């Protein structure tokens, strides 16, 4: 059993994707080395914090509500299907991501594991293909973030739809 635990810990730490595990309240309980590298935080700076620390300030409140609804569901899925997702690092630099979510019932309660892939390079290639040479935007530090406003609108629209779905039908 001890060897299996050591193997699992080694696999978790060696994963190429950033992995962030949160509890039902959205508190970060575990991160791997790739998450530290991606977000620029040390492990001890993340564990115990709300996961929304990894999001731009303008998206945190909306995301908290969406996270609460997800934890009530028994699903494993990709997050934000059809939406542009963004995260931000310790310095506040925003970047596009893809996120896969897994829900686990553990002794401590419900845990959500997020496997996070930074996709700036792919997004840059896509924009370049759509706009032509010299017109695409990059996502390096300090670069213009042309999709940030559309992401905010998309998250607000998704939250509005979820709230509307929760309302009883009017007669």
**What domains appear along the chain, each with residue ranges and CATH number?**
2-166 (3.30.450.20)
Closest CA to 94 of 75, 118, 76: 118
Confidence at residue 10, expressed as pLDDT on a 0 to 100 scale:
94
Q: For residues 39 and 89, is the Cβ–Cβ distance under 8 A?
A: yes
Which residues of the chain carry a pLDDT beneath 70?
74-83, 122-171
Q: How far apart are CA 83 and CA 153, in angstroms?
A: 10
Helix, strand or coil, per DSSP, at residue 78: strand
- Structure token pair of residue 123: 């997004």
Confidence at residue 84, expressed as pLDDT on a 0 to 100 scale:
77
> If you write DSSP's letter for every residue of 47-71 in order, what string do you get?
TTSBGGGGS-HHHHHHHHHHHHHHH
pLDDT digits (tens, 9 = 90+) for 7-33: 999 999 999 999 999 998 999 999 999
């Amino acid at each position: 059993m001890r060897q299996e635990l050591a193997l699992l810990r080694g696999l978790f730490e060696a994963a190429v994707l950033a992995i962030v595990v949160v509890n039902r309240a959205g508190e970060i309980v575990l991160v791997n080395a790739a998450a530290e590298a991606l977000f620029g935080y040390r492990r001890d700076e993340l564990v115990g914090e709300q996961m929304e620390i990894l999001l731009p300030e303008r998206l945190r409140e909306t995301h908290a509500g969406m996270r609460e609804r997800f934890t009530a569901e028994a699903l494993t899925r990709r997050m934000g299907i059809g939406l542009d997702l963004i995260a931000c690092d310790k310095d506040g630099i925003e970047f596009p991501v893809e996120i896969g979510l897994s829900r686990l019932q553990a002794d401590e309660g419900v845990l959500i594991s997020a496997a996070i892939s930074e996709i700036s390079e792919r997004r840059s290639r896509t924009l370049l293909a759509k706009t032509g040479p010299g017109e695409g935007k990059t996502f390096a530090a300090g670069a213009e973030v042309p999709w940030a406003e559309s992401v905010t609108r998309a998250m607000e629209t998704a939250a509005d739809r979820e709230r509307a779905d929760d309302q009883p039908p009017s007669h």
